[in-house]
Amino acid sequence: MKNISDLTLEELKAELEKIDEPAYRAEQIFGWLYKKGVFRFKEMTDLSKNLKERLASAYVIGKLELCGVFKAKDRTEKYLFRLADGYGIETVLIPATGRKTLCLSTQVGCKFACAFCASGLKGFIRNLAPSEIVGQVLHFKNSLEAPLTNIVFMGMGEPLDNFENLAKAIRILNSPQGLEIAARRMTVSTCGIVPGMERFKRLGLQVNLSISLHAATDTKRDQLLPVNRKYPLKKVIKACQDYIRKGGRKITLEYVLLKGANDSLADADGLTRIAKRLKAKVNLIPYSPVPGLPYEVPNEKGIQFFLSRLEEKKIPVTLRRSKGADIQAACGQLAGRINK
């Protein structure tokens, strides 16, 4: 059976039209699904009995099965969900003063095998459906004291490699009849899939784009992010410039600090040059070590050294303290335990 939560509002309208129901019914259904967070057609009390039955015989309302919650000392919470086919995905809730950010997965596993990341270790399994992406948000709909303020697509997987479903999920999250999360409060993070960045630009949404740069030369980036061999820095930078030009949104560069691999003075200056060209802000992330991988996080002095070099050069930079290190909250670390 089809999952009704895979449909955007436009698609649901088209489906209802086929059975001679007026378009506004789709808005009513969306309201039940996303504003009230209802999981049974029976509860949609303003629909006719006939329509409720027809919907129930044609669709399911997808709900993610929670199979674990891990709470870190820094208040980061990691949720492990089991999908209908048994695979696991992880979603991270990051509370901060005045905001509540949810970090979503977009794929089970990942194709891109970044050298330091846990997600690529077991390869790619499958794309998440729109309902499975939105379902991660929906889980929190009625359970949080304060509403979610921000969504980041920085969990397991490469969002731009699951383009169609990502775009649908963003539309559902953004829809005034849906979850009503402003595009400007959503951020898609990519390892630099250039054609995906171009397509994303053409969607014309005000969603923020974040690039996992992690190295400022092709030689280093080729080693850390093998995808760089296909889409080298020059192309990634050009795609960023096009994105900025088209949407007027700023780009963020993410830079995970790896001891001895990308944390030298020359690395900081290379990053500075790229950030200046793109007028980008930089998000430094001290590495969260992954068992079995050879990378380490620099010591506090090394982190401060890198940070202050960027600050000296007047780059807007934030140091994102790795969240939830004690609950293995880094990309792919937790789901890796059940996706054997």
By beta-carbon proximity to ligand SAH, the closer residue of 124 and 140 is: 124
| Nearest-approach distance from CB 254 to ligand SAH, in angstroms | 4
CB of residue 209 to ligand SAH, shortest distance in Å: 10
The residues in 54-93 that bind ligand SAH, with binding defined as CB under 6 A, are none
256 binds ligand SAH (CB under 6 A): yes
Note whether 224 binds ligand SAH by CB under 6 A: no
Q: Is 285 in the site for ligand SAH (CB under 6 A)?
A: yes
- Nearest 5°: the CA angle 130, 136, 139 is 125
Q: Is 311 a catalytic residue?
A: no
Complex with ligand SAH: residue 56 or 72, whichever CB lies closer: 72
Buried b (16+ CB within 10 A) or exposed e, 219-247: ebbeebbbbbeebebeebbebbeebbeeb
287 belongs to the binding site for ligand SAH (CB under 6 A)? yes
The residue annotated as part of the active site, out of 103, 114, 191, 331, is: 331
Report the amino acid identity of residue 193. Answer: I
User: Considering only CA atoms, which of 125, 206, 211, 127 is closest in space to residue 170?
Assistant: 206
Please report, as a single letter, which amino acid is at residue 332.
G
In the residue annotation, 90 being an active-site residue is answered as: yes
Least Å from the CB of residue 197 to ligand SAH = 12
- The answer to whether 107 contacts ligand SAH (rule: CB under 6 A) is no
One of 15, 21, 77, 90 is an active-site residue; which one?
90
Q: Is 262 in the site for ligand SAH (CB under 6 A)?
A: no
What's the N-to-C CA distance of the chain in angstroms?
27
Under DSSP, the state recorded for 325 is G
d(CA 333, CA 33): 31
Hey, what are 229's tokens?
Answer: 């061999």
Residue 154 interacts with ligand SAH (CB under 6 A): yes or no: yes
16 vs 92 by CB, closer to ligand SAH: 92
How would DSSP label each residue in 69-102? Answer: EEE-TTS-EEEEEE-TTS-EEEEEEEEETTEEEE
Counting other chains too, the contacts that 175-180 makes at CB distance below 8 Å and 24 or more residues apart are 175/8, 175/9, 175/30, 175/34, 177/9, 177/27, 177/30, 177/31, 177/34, 177/35, 178/9, 178/30, 178/33, 178/34, 178/35, 179/34, 179/35, 179/134, 179/137, 179/138, 179/141, 180/35
- Our finding on whether 330 is near ligand SAH (CB under 6 A) is yes
CB atoms near residue 83 (< 10 Å): 18
Q: Name which of 29 and 213 has its Cβ closer to ligand SAH.
A: 213
**Binding of residue 102 to ligand SAH (CB under 6 A):** no
**Beta carbon nearer to ligand SAH, 5 or 107:** 107
Which one among 233, 331, 334, 335 touches ligand SAH, defined by CB under 6 A?
Answer: 331
Binding mask 161-190 for ligand SAH (x = CB under 6 A): ----------------------------xx
Size of the site for ligand SAH (CB under 6 A): 18
Two tokens, residue 49: 């009995």
By CB under 6 A, tell whether 136 contacts ligand SAH: no
Q: Out of 191, 237, 251, 271, which residue is the one contacting ligand SAH (CB under 6 A)?
A: 191
Q: Is the separation of the CB atoms in 118 and 290 below 8 Å? A: yes
Active site positions, annotated: 90, 331
Using CB under 6 A, list all residues that contact ligand SAH.
114, 116-117, 154, 158, 189-191, 212, 254, 256, 285, 287-288, 290, 322, 330-331
